[in-house]
Amino acid sequence: MTFQDLKPKVSEIIARPEQTRDEKLLEICQLLSSSISYYNWVGFYFANHEAKTLHLGPYVGAETDHTVIPFGKGICGQVAESNANFVVPDVSAQDNYIACSFTVKSEIVVPLFVNGQNIGQIDIDSHVIDPFTEEDERFLEFVCEQISKLY
C-alpha cells in the first residue's frame, strides 16, 4: 500500500467518534506496521515537560523496556529537544542510540506538535538498513498533523 493510499485511512481513524484517543493511536500503529513492510516497530512517546521525560504510549511490535526516556537520551530523547525529524540509516553507527533489539537496523522519529509545542513523537524501527526516504518523513509528518487534531 502506498503512502497516498494510507493517508485517507489515517484520516478515517482520526475521525471516528466511538474510539478513544489511545484506541485510535493503536489502530494507526497497526495500520502502518501491517501496510509498510519495513515498519517493524511503530509506536508513540509522549512528553512530560516538567520531568523532561518521554513516556511510551500505544505501540505495535516487540516489547520494549524503554517505557521512560529522558530528554536528550537516544534518538527519541534527542527529538524531544531538537523538535526536528531524525532519520538513522544505520543504528550501529549512531553514538547516542538506545539499543532495543539486535534486529533493529534503522530508525525514524518524527515529532508531534500541538499548538506549536512538541508533545511527543512517532517512532519507527526497521529490521532493514537505510529504508527511510523523504517520502517516509513527509508521510509521518502528515500522520502527526492528523493526530494533533485529537489534542
> What is the model's pLDDT at position 90?
87
Q: What is the pLDDT of residues 22-52, one digit of tens each?
A: 999 999 999 999 999 999 999 999 999 999 9
Q: What is the pLDDT of residues 103-148, one digit of tens each?
A: 789 999 999 999 999 999 999 999 999 999 999 999 999 999 999 9
Q: Is the pLDDT of residue 96 over 80?
A: no
Nearest to 41 by CA among 124, 128, 144, 141: 124
User: Phi-psi bin for 37: left (phi > 0), alpha (psi -120 to 50), beta?
Assistant: alpha
Q: Are strands 117-126 and 106-114 parallel, antiparallel or unpaired?
A: antiparallel
φ, ψ (nearest 5 deg) of residue 112: -110, 115
